[in-house]
Structure formats: C-alpha cells, structure tokens
Amino acid sequence: MELAASPYVVLLTLLLTCFVINQIFRVNKKLVLLQTAFLIFIFLFIFHQITIFTNPGLINSVNTFRGETNQTIFAPLGRVIENRYVYLSEHLLFNILRQFTPATYFTNQAQLLDFSFSPPIYLGFIIPFLFGLVKLVKSLAKNDVPKVIIVFLLILPSILSNNSPDLSRLIIVSPVIFFIISSGFYTFILNYKKRIFKIFLFLTLFLVVLQVSTTFVDIATREPVRLQNIKNNG
C-alpha cells in the first residue's frame, strides 16, 4: 500500500513507457538522457520533493562544531573547514553513497512496509546481483557514460530526500537492479554445467525461498506482538 500510493510509481510507469517508445523508434542516447532528466526534475519541483536540507539537526551540528572550535586556537581554521556549505555538501555526498550500499536493498535496514524483517529485495538475490554487477563493470566502455548518468538521475529523488535512502523513491531505480540480478541469473543458467555456478544457482533459490517463508511466518506470528509492545511502551 505504502509503495502503491507513492507518486513515484506513476513516474516509474512514465519512464518505462518512454523507454519502450525510445527503443521502438531508436532514439539517440543523448536525447534519452535529456528526456529522463527533464521528467525527473519536473517531478521533483512540481511535488516539492527536495527535502534533503530541511533537517534542523544538520545546522545544529555545524553550530556545535563551530562553537567548540571557536574556543580553541583553531578558530580561523574552523571557519574555512566547518562552515555550513561544506557540511551540506558532505551530507549530499553521504546521501549519494548510501544509495549504493548493498545493505539498503538486501537487508531489513530499510524495512519494507515497516515490517521488522522484510527487506526490499531478498538477501539470496545478492549473489546473482554481484555477478551481474561484475559482468556489467567488465563490459563498461566509454560510450556507456549516458547509461551511468541515467542511473544517477534515477536515484536523484532518493538522494534529495530528508529520509534517504527512501524506498518509495528508489522504486524508479528498481528495474536497473532487477536487470543486474537477471543478468547474474542468466550467467548461472548459461554456465549451469560448471559445478560452481550450479552451487550459486541452488544457493540463491534456496535462500530466497527460505526467506520468503521466514518473512511471512514472522509477520504472521511476531508482528502483532511487536505492535502491542510498541503500544504498551509508548
């Protein structure tokens, strides 16, 4: 429900539709890039989605640091190093990096639908994902730069969120992740006769099936008790 209600599902549908049309008409890569950027920026501005710098804690931290430094001989250095613009840039970089952390997608660090043990993507899929990623990096060439920029544009809404990494915004990058996972899976199936790939395929399937079952049992049994505990303890 949480994800279905997200306006980013609409954006995702729009982007995928554009992608299909571009494929059919073989539109130039640079034009695709411009089109994607345009759609995402329009969306961000219309729906006032840039909330990254609204956290008052950020500015409070800078003030604390500056206050402490001003009491020392390093006060002039603090003015250059610890000003709010530098700190906000640091925060922006931090948000960018967090979008590329495996824990964001494959563990319950970012919980789906607020259930305690429900990751956005099941952990077992990390095996084909890593294989797919290595394959992708190996095949990257200079003319693939627009593709990399498109991926960056897709994670931009989540980067600009106060609550980053924001799963409801990261939904628009999910096709890329699923593509990488599929690419890894394809490698496993293609090399099925080699023992190591057979093991990887079996392990992936085993882990995914197991986690699906565990997650459902956990939601059915523990989640009501957790909710009650939260209510009781405030």
Partner 1 sequence: MAKYIFIIVLALTILGGFLRFYEISKNPVSLSIDEVAFGYNAYSILKTGRDEYGKFLPLTFKSTGDYKNPVPIYLMVPSIALFGLNEFSIRMPTALIATLSIPIFFLFFMEITEALVISLMATILLAISPWHIYYSRYVSDHLIATSLVVLGSLCFLKMFKSGRWFWSVSSAFFFVLSMYTYYAERLFVPMAILLLLIFKKADLRIRFKQLVLFVVVCVVIAAPLIFSTFFGPDRARAQMTWLGRDVEFVRNVAVKPLENISALGSDNLLLFYFGARKYLHYLDPGFLFYSGLKMTKEDSYGVGVLYLFEIPWLILGIITLIKKRIRNKSLIVGWILIGLIPASLTNNEQHPGRTFFILPMLLLVSATGAIEFFRLMKTNLNHSLKNIIYFIFLIIIMWNLGLTLLTYTVHFPRQRGEDFMEGTKETVEYALANKSKYKEIVLDPYRGIEAPNIVSIPHMYILFYTKYDPAIYQQENKTRPDGSFGFDKFTIRRIDCGLG
Q: Does 56 bind partner 1 (CB under 8 A)?
A: no
User: With left for phi above 0 and alpha for psi between -120 and 50, is residue 118 left, alpha or beta?
Assistant: beta
CB-based contact 219:112 (threshold 8 Å)? no
Interacting stretch for partner 1, rule CB under 8 A, among 43-51, 102-110, 170-178, 190-198?
102-110
Asked if residue 226 binds partner 1 (CB under 8 A), the reply is yes
Q: What's the alpha-carbon Rg for the chain, to the nearest Å?
A: 22
Question: Which residue matches tokens 């500015």?
Answer: 59
Torsion of CA 110, 125, 14, 93, to 10 degrees: 50
Q: Is residue 196 near partner 1 by the rule CB under 8 A?
A: no
Distance CA 234, CA 232 (A): 6
In the complex, least distance from residue 142 CB atom to partner 1, rounded to whole angstroms: 10
User: Which residue reads 């730069």 in tokens?
Assistant: 145
Stretch that binds partner 1, among 16-24, 82-90, 150-158, 181-189 (CB under 8 A): 82-90
Segment near partner 1 (CB under 8 A); pick from 1-9, 108-116, 145-153, 175-183: 108-116
13: left (phi over 0), alpha (psi -120 to 50) or beta: alpha
For partner 1, give the closer residue by CB, 93 or 190: 93
Where does this chain bind partner 1 (CB under 8 A)? 57, 61, 64-65, 68-69, 72, 74, 77-78, 80-82, 86-87, 90-91, 93-94, 97-98, 101-103, 106-109, 116-117, 119, 123, 134, 137-138, 210-211, 213-214, 217-218, 220-222, 225-226, 229
